[in-house]
Every structure is written in structure tokens, then in C-alpha cells.
Amino acid sequence: MFSLNEIKKTGLIALWFVFLTFPIMVIKVDSIEQTVLWRWENALYVGLGTFILRFLILFMKSRKEKAQAAKALNSNNGNEQSFIHRIIAHPAQRKILFGALLASAVIYPLIFDTYQINIMITALIYTILFLVWVLISLWGWQVFLILVLWLFML
């Protein structure tokens, strides 16, 4: 099922993960008793876990590729839409979806405490900053500044 080259590559990846996690997983320093504890079994667990996980990922990728190939052979013109696109295509379902999103946004501050609200606000700020960065990288600073000025004039 897997070639010898893939097994070698997986072994090297597992050794690399053991090397990267060595200071955290293997060495334990007890500063009170001034001793160093070497936990070599943790290095073995990391190596075996990485090895098995890599093979699991390769298996799932090959299974997905086979399913996509079979789907491409069986599909008619590739007109299949995802679940969200089917909902958005119908106006009644789209209104229900947007209403549910609006209701959850209104109810969120009433249900959760200030800490979770602050986390959500920070996540939304980073999302907006990312979108601004994408806008600038695609269109340039000049177009971005014109859009900002236009928005402030509204």
C-alpha cells in the first residue's frame, strides 16, 4: 500500500518531530531538588504517534482522491452545489439563515460574560485587519485610501 520511499520519508518526519519536541517532552528539570529527569519514553511516544499519524493522513488523502475521481466520473456536468450555496440560492431559506445569525449576534452578549465578549471582539478586530490587508495587497494603497475616504464621507 505504501512505498518504501514513503516509509523512509515518514520515518524522517517522525525523527524530526522527536528532535523538535525533545526539550519539552524528554528533559524535565526539577529546580527544587536540582535534578534532571530524562523521560525517554516520551520521545518514543512522539515518534510512534507521528509515524502512525502520518500514515493515517496518507491513507485519508488517497481515499479522498479516489472518491473525487469516482465522483468526477459519475457526476453530470459538475453542477452540484455545497450545502451553504443551496441555502443561499433560495430567498426564504436565506432570510431564515440571516435572521438566525442576527439573533445569535444580538443574544451573544446576554448569554456570555465580559471575558468571552472581549475574546470575540478581539477575534473580529483581527478578522477585519486581515481583510484590510487582503484588500491592500490586491488593490494597492491608493484604492484602499480612496475607499476609506469615500466611506467616511457617507
Q: Render pLDDT for 7-65 as a digit per residue (tens, 0 to 9).
A: 999 999 999 999 999 998 899 998 899 999 999 999 999 999 999 999 899 899 989 99
Residue 76 has pLDDT above 70, yes or no: no
Please tell me the pTM assigned to this model: 0.47
Grid coordinates given for 140 = 494597492
Identify the pLDDT of residue 78: 54
CA distance linking residue 108 with residue 51, whole number of Å: 42
The dihedrals phi and psi of 82, each to the nearest 5 degrees, come to: -75, 170
87: number of CA atoms within 13 Å, CB side?
Answer: 10
Element (H, E) at 118: helix 114-139
CA distance linking residue 73 with residue 67, whole number of Å: 10
- How much is the average pLDDT of 121-125? 92
Largest CA distance in the chain: 71
